[in-house]
Amino acid sequence: MNHQTMTENLENLAVLIMLMFVVPAMILSVYQRMAARRSKIAYGKHLVEFEERLQHPQFQELEKHFARPLPEAYKRLYRDPERVLRTNFLVYAPGSKDEDRAWPIASFLPADATTLAEAWPGLGENNLPFAC
C-alpha cells in the first residue's frame, strides 16, 4: 500500500466519521435549541392564559356544575386580583402560626370549567379545586 492510498483512506475515514457523528450531533444541537425556545414560548403563553383565567372567574360555569351558589368568601377571593395571583405562601390553621400546621400553596387555580375538567380524578365531582 503506498503513501497516497493510505492518506486517501484516512481522509475517507475522517469524512465518514464526520458524517456519522459530527453532522448528526450538530443537527441535534440546533434542534434542541429550537425545541427549548418553542417550549419557553409555549410556557410563557400558557402562563399568560393561566393568569388571565385567574383574573376572570367563571362563577356561572361552576354554579351550574355544582347546581348551587358558590360561597361568597370564594367569590371575594377571586374578585381580588392581588390575592388570587399570590404564589408560594403558607396557610395556617385557625389560631396557629406553627409551620407544622400549615398548608403550602403554590398558586390558586382558575375558577372555571377547565379547572374542573383538568382536576385529579380522585378529587371527586363534588369538590372544587381552588389551589395547589
What is the percent of the chain where pLDDT is above 70?
89
3-state secondary structure of 88: strand
Judged by phi (left if over 0) then psi (alpha if -120 to 50, else beta), residue 68 lies in beta
Q: pLDDT band for position 106 (50/70/90)?
A: very high
Helix, coil or strand: residue 108: strand
Going from N- to C-terminal start, the domains of the chain cover 1-55, 58-123
SS3 content of the chain, % helix, strand, coil (to 5): 65, 10, 25
Q: Please, what's the b/e burial string for 53-68 (b: 16 or more CB within 10 A of its CB; e: otherwise)? A: bbeebbeeebeeeeee
Query: Would you say 103 and 91 are in contact if contact means Cβ atoms under 8 Å apart?
Result: yes
Backbone angles phi, psi at 56, to 5 degrees: -130, 75
Go through the chain and tell me how many residues it has: 132
**pLDDT confidence tier of residue 22, bands split at 50, 70 and 90:** low
- Which segments of 27-86 are extended strands (E)? none
pLDDT value at position 121? 84
Given this model, what pLDDT does residue 12 score? Answer: 77
Residue 110, classified by CB atoms within 10 Å of its CB into exposed (0-12), middle (13-18) or buried (19+), is buried
Q: Is the pLDDT of residue 23 over 70?
A: no
